[in-house]
Chain A
């Protein structure tokens, strides 16, 4: 049994290495054509590497986790880590000038850590303290920073220049990553990563079926999603008549679009950053 498992692992590690070499070789040959993604060749290589890693290790581990543990245990694990996140979600809400949301986040943290037994039970959501989604990348966006070029990091995945800077803060302040002793921290990091991946097993299957080009599909979804998060789910609505009738070339030619777009809400597009290429005209 043990030998078979080790053999399987080595085979997977080889597959992973092959994926990285292949990704670097093939990815660097292509040129970016999208203004939001000037380093598409590099990004595709990293994307290929991440996919290879996921196929070899991420997905099998997450599948085993989901199949072995009962749902209430997995919910407890998810809640435990989500509770820890609430601290800096609160901090970011404060930095974004939303003190009421920040108070709600800290109240959630207090209630879930105590009544919710170290965060295992999400009592807060049941008493009307809604979970928020904030990070430093969103805070920078709120302050007016545009996305900057899209970047795919090895292991970490999709990001932009702005979100990468945010992530540096997110990661360095992460209570789990700063936890000691190191061996306990490592177990926590692995458990959290496995839990997050397991929650996405269905989604990755759906994505597989939905996208013609998964790389493009994920990139666009990431950029749309970040824009929505910065506006807390209520970005300026695009008029239907303006959708689909623009020249798609506009998004590949940034120099032409800014004046031609005749944008009625300049501040909105400034915040939206790269997304303004996607949606040149918006209304509130």
Chain B
């Protein structure tokens, strides 16, 4: 009937369901344990919070800021999404791009998280070698009448613990998906053009959220 592709998009929102955070995530926490702890903690808060269930987007964003974002490396994500254009940017442009991309992703996360409906999570164990610095942590979201949706977190080892640099939902890498979108915008409008488009996108997302709340 409608664009069958939207089916994919549904999976897209599920990635936020396996949220992040880590209460006191000590640096020694293994990546799969980190994913599990953060996911369960965030889901628990959402389940119990009446405001969030009533559609309070601001509260979801605060929750993500506090619990999830500390475990993401947005500079890596932005660099990978920009691809070959990344080395051509100035320090100031890098900063702006990272900031705007971060805002865009947080909004998307918040929007997806508020769609949470009691799905169950299956955390697949990770076989981690001591020398590994780059791993995929796999989570599966089980739902009735449909194949479980896989959510893979690509994580890298940093001095500050394991950080996520890509999320792959139902086989769709977020970073790879933005790459073409960004490359097209840069080709047409340059790096500064892309920054402008991101700023405009973020402000339109913010204003449409206000309208929805009324």
Contact = CB atoms under 8 A, between A and B. Distances in A.
A221 B172 contact: yes
Given A225-B172, A228-B170, A246-B83, A220 B177 contact: yes
B161 interface: no
Given A82-B145, A209-B107, A243-B80, A203 B171 contact: no
Contacts of B6: 157, 197, 200, 203-204, 207, 218
Which of A53, A81, A213 is most buried by chain B, counting CB atoms within 10 A of its CB?
A213
A196 B8 CA distance: 12
A120 B113 CA distance: 27
Contacts of B185: 212-213
A225 B170 contact: yes
Given A209-B111, A244-B83, A247-B84, A82 B146 contact: yes
A221 to B, nearest CB: 5
Interface stretch (B21-29, B32-40, B148-156): B148-156
A276 interface: no
A217 interface: yes
Interface string A55-99: 000110000000000010001001101110000000000000000
Q: Is the interface of A mostly helix, strand, loop or mixed?
A: helix
B172 A228 contact: yes
Interface string A170-210: 00000000000000000000000110110110111111011
A47 B5 CA distance: 11
A147 interface: no
A236 to B, nearest CB: 12
B188 to A, nearest CB: 10
A118 to B, nearest CB: 13
Contacts of B1: 58, 155, 193-194, 196-197
A211 B117 CA distance: 24
Contacts of B10: 199-200, 202-203
Interface in A84-141: 122, 125, 130-133
Interface stretch (B42-50, B63-71, B197-205): B197-205
A206 B3 contact: no
Contacts of A50: 2-3
Contacts of A217: 177, 181
Contacts of A235: 171
Interface residues of B, number: 60
B184 A213 contact: yes
Interface string B97-117: 000000010011001100101
A57 B52 CA distance: 30
Contact of B83 (A152, A212, A248): A248
Contact of A244 (B82, B177, B184): B82
Nearest to A250: B84
Interface string A212-253: 110011101110110111000101010010011111110100
A204 B145 contact: no
Given A82-B145, A209-B107, A210-B108, A248 B183 contact: yes
Nearest to A189: B1
Contact of A156 (B4, B150, B182, B205): B4
Interface string B139-170: 00010111110100010100000000100001
B95 to A, nearest CB: 18
Interface in B173-213: 173, 175-177, 179-185, 187, 197-198, 201, 205, 208
B20 interface: no
Contacts of B8: 203, 218, 221-222, 225
Which of A228, A244, A279 is most buried by chain B, counting CB atoms within 10 A of its CB?
A244
B12 A209 contact: no
Pairs A-B, 5 closest by C-beta atoms: A228-B171, A203-B10, A193-B1, A157-B3, A202-B115
Interface of A: 33-34, 47, 50-51, 53-54, 58-59, 71, 75, 78-79, 81-83, 122, 125, 130-133, 152, 155-159, 193-194, 196-197, 199-200, 202-207, 209-213, 216-218, 220-222, 224-225, 227-229, 233, 235, 237, 240, 243-249, 251, 278-279
11 contacts: A78-B144, A79-B145, A82-B145, A193-B2, A204-B6, A205-B111, A206-B108, A206-B115, A207-B9, A212-B197, A245-B83
